[in-house]
Homo-oligomer: A and B are copies of this chain.
Amino acid sequence: MSEKRDTQSGLVVSAHSADFVWRAGGAIALHVQQGYQMHIVCLSYGERGESAKLWRKGNVTEAAVKETRQQEAQHAAELLGATIEFFDLGDYPLRADEKILLRLADVYRRVQPHFVLTHPMQDPYNYDHPLAFNLAMEARIIAQAEGYRPGEKVLEAPPVYCFEPHQPEQCNWKPDVLLNISEVWERKYAAIQCMRGQEHLWEYYTRVALQRGVQAKRNIGITSHKAISHAEGFQSIYPRVTEKLA
């Protein structure tokens, strides 16, 4: 890992090792293309809860599932152009104590991200996702504190965006940002195809990208005239500071 601090960077906190692909693969690839250093933290491999197909083959150990999942995620990250690290905390349930919290705060300090992507705060289908949200949020705040590892460069206030959950309305998730990922869609779809254990989701998330693309076209003002075919939705946690409203 060799993030340079003078380039722009982004941080993705993913509960399981495939979440960053379905939910933020376009944002990652797009910002890499714009010169950002994108870094992904996978809190777990999703070995218990999101590897059904692997388990159903039978005669498989947890270690083997984790290894497969790590390879898939590593490969996907490479295709997207991002660095990736694995905390291997276990899933279903995912748990994080204070030590893990500070470990993530240290990642923030090191990466100094210009923006952060993570899960939304509610998900009645998944308890690991809100935990990842809270961990990402609290670690960010600690990394901003002058009194945490005094002397280190503190984190400024990067915006946090919650990416799209599997059943958005049930999570009370409401996108206020639609990111045009049309230019990098092929790269995202290539990364999606790394996830061999969840093939049933490939077309689901292709359709998500197409629907968000149509919606993006409906919300465009006069300023932007780029063609849009695919998009990703995000919900902001903080107000954005700007000098331009159009």
Contacts and interface: CB of A to CB of B under 8 A. Distances in A.
A201 to B, nearest CB: 9
A48 B138 CA distance: 14
A31 B211 CA distance: 28
A11 to B, nearest CB: 11
A131 to B, nearest CB: 10
A226 B170 CA distance: 23
A201 B244 CA distance: 26
Contact of A239 (B92, B208, B219, B226): B219
Given A52-B146, A95-B98, A245 B238 contact: no
Nearest to A53: B146
A239 B177 contact: yes
Contacts of A107: none
A134 B127 CA distance: 9
30 contacts: A8-B222, A30-B243, A48-B145, A49-B141, A49-B144, A49-B145, A49-B147, A51-B146, A56-B146, A60-B150, A65-B147, A92-B145, A95-B98, A112-B222, A115-B245, A117-B245, A125-B218, A127-B141, A169-B233, A170-B239, A175-B239, A178-B240, A180-B242, A180-B243, A207-B207, A207-B210, A216-B241, A219-B239, A219-B241, A224-B241
Nearest to A95: B98
Contacts of A241: 178-180, 216, 219-221, 224, 228, 231
Count of this chain's copies in the oligomeric assembly: 6
Interface string A153-168: 0001111010000111
A101 interface: yes
A110 interface: no
A27 interface: yes
A180 B243 CA distance: 5
A148 interface: yes
A172 interface: yes
